Structure 1
């Protein structure tokens, strides 16, 4: 049996492994976004579970409690919770990553409370004072977990957890490096399945899967040149293969991304220092996310370079021929960041297609013509 089969099972049967661990006596903590340190949860012998929605299911209960113009990803997640799909969670943690998640935390807590509930206040402005504030937030988070678990945090276990997750980050970057070949041996669709599969299992198990998958990919024969364009994806939540598959079916290779469910959550390691809490605060707060703001630097072009220079490196190293922005409707942070990023990429002579769409597979087919036209333009 190849490693593809367990990856497929974990992708399609989301929550099955976490539910099994819960039934076996482990405590599972669900969380949103890239700002909740998995390392802290793991150091307490808790199982981190990144909450996902469902792009294939209608939102039929959450709209009674959430306004319909709120982020459809957040509404979908809450919809699944109201249906009992997250009843295996022993805890629920939300960061103030955006206003919708922050507001929804209180609504979720009121209607589907877990034994442990916590909101992490994440600063929006990046800088030394924000680092200090966020460290205090993590210290309070640790104190709440100590109260919940009945034991003090073991700093050696925290350092061990940092090493574990850094190992996973290294492997995921190695997997992404395999997409730099032209044509790549691994598709963006496969990458999405590998990433989603890891959101609901312990890091050690995901490391085994990713390592085995890398070995499998390396054994594949190098594909013949096909002349198809290479695409860079930017946006927020893509935890379903539908959109990535559509782009690739239209005649392109999705080779790199800057997504909440993609490179953002693993691209930077946590420094292994004598002060692990400080290292976690600095690493997580430096996550590249449209909701985070850097102090303005220089003139307009200098400021854009300061904000998006890392994306220029992605485009250069992965040799992207074009960029597609896939923005979930009502995501104000991406809607505001998108035009500036488009201006920056246009200055680099990179064609950009900007798409705003519902968090639903039912609308994917309507995008085919736009994507095909864009790909024809850049070929």
Structure 2
């Protein structure tokens, strides 16, 4: 059996998320933070900047952030901004904020005014997918490229960008490989472990994360076969979940979390950047067209069944390919974009005969006892049909 050094490193980085980025900064590298799935990390990597995805802290009570943000604001964003105000993100040399939602956009304004790094850049991502949207978004990417070049102190070469695209596409392929392993009757790697692998990669260069994942895949393949083959297979959907505790609650209640549709899961890596003569064209297409987030408006069609299929067929493919028995839809309270779409998501799964549990919780997961009770009751319901 291969020694589990890769997973041990993942555990260390999961619990000390800024450590690797701060180490690299002390070595002279510049670190650029970014919100959400939409800033193209390929541009950062191509300029030798270290991408760091902004995260909150589920173990820290928001205090300073509540002086500027009302409590009916998304608790994930409040947590992130609280960390910025208390100096936890002082190691950043730059920050890229997309218009993923109005709350995140407001954070751009306040971060820029109260605790700015050298670069604070707003990336205007279109909310509609049509030909003019791609033209507009490419121009926005050129603006971002210029700002990052100024920060890095060098120009971006097309070949270097192609190499960065290849490296990040390899990263996506390795993550998809970890998900493929969970299609088996007894997945050799738990959903909570996969989330930790993803989170560990949010604060290190892509080449390091690729090497780490190759090591982890070898470790997982060497594990003895698991005998628990009759556990309910759950898809986890929702917004920002970077806390493995929630997934562990599902697993300890008797389920296997085999796939997800999360900002911190498949949404951020499932689609590759296509090969194009100008790499920016492929990047613009992938980030605007292939990220299935509620903040992006997809053209609607009638009747309603056709509209739901048009918007959520990718969820149906996940459910089929991973043989999903039930869906847990967990949304951070006051996340308007996800809450507005939740009834349609539930209706879509209902049309496929897949039961759904809808939870609305804070980023820090208050009321854990109540959550466990609801999860156990839901799993008992779907487990009785196996």
Q: TM-score, normalised by structure 1?
A: 0.98
Contact 2:30 2:152 in 1 (8 A): no
Contact 1:56 1:361 in 2 (8 A): no
**Is 2:325 aligned against 1:296?**
no
User: Deviation above 4 Å: which 4+ runs of structure 1?
Assistant: none
Q: Which runs of structure 2 are paired with 1:319-338 in the superposition (5 Å)?
A: 319-338=323-342
Listed one character per residue, the Cα deviations across residues 235-257 of structure 1 (whole Å, up to 9, x for unaligned) are 01111111100111111110000
Question: Could you tell me which residue of structure 1 aligns to residue 67 of structure 2?
Answer: 64
Question: Could you tell me which residue of structure 2 aligns to residue 309 of structure 1?
Answer: 313
Listed one character per residue, the Cα deviations across residues 10-35 of structure 1 (whole Å, up to 9, x for unaligned) are 00011000001111110000000000
Distance 2:217 2:154 in 1: 38
**Is 2:160 aligned against 1:163?**
no
Distance 1:378 1:145 in 2: 49
**Is 2:265 aligned against 1:262?**
yes
Q: Which runs of structure 2 are paired with 1:1-379 in the superposition (5 Å)?
A: 2-286=5-289, 287-379=291-383
Distance 1:181 1:223 in 2: 10
Contact 1:33 1:97 in 2 (8 A): yes
Q: TM-score, normalised by structure 2?
A: 0.96
Q: CA-atom RMSD, angstroms?
A: 1.0
- Structure 1 position 152, deviation (Å): 1.8
Distance 2:85 2:234 in 1: 37
Partner SS state of residue 330, structure 1: coil
Change (3 A) 1:230 1:149: same
Q: Say how many residue pairs are matched.
A: 379
Distance 1:345 1:64 in 2: 40
Return 5+ residue gaps in structure 2 as ranges: none
Listed one character per residue, the Cα deviations across residues 87-140 of structure 1 (whole Å, up to 9, x for unaligned) are 100001100000000011101111110101100011111111111111111011
Distance 2:56 2:150 in 1: 30
Moved more, 204-213 or 295-304: 295-304
Distance 2:164 2:228 in 1: 42
Return 5+ residue gaps in structure 1 as ranges: none
Moved more, 211-220 or 316-325: 211-220
Partner SS state of residue 179, structure 1: helix
Partner SS state of residue 143, structure 2: helix
Distance 1:57 1:271 in 2: 40
Distance 1:223 1:125 in 2: 45
- Structure 1 position 73, deviation (Å): 0.3
Contact 2:108 2:122 in 1 (8 A): yes
Contact 2:49 2:152 in 1 (8 A): no
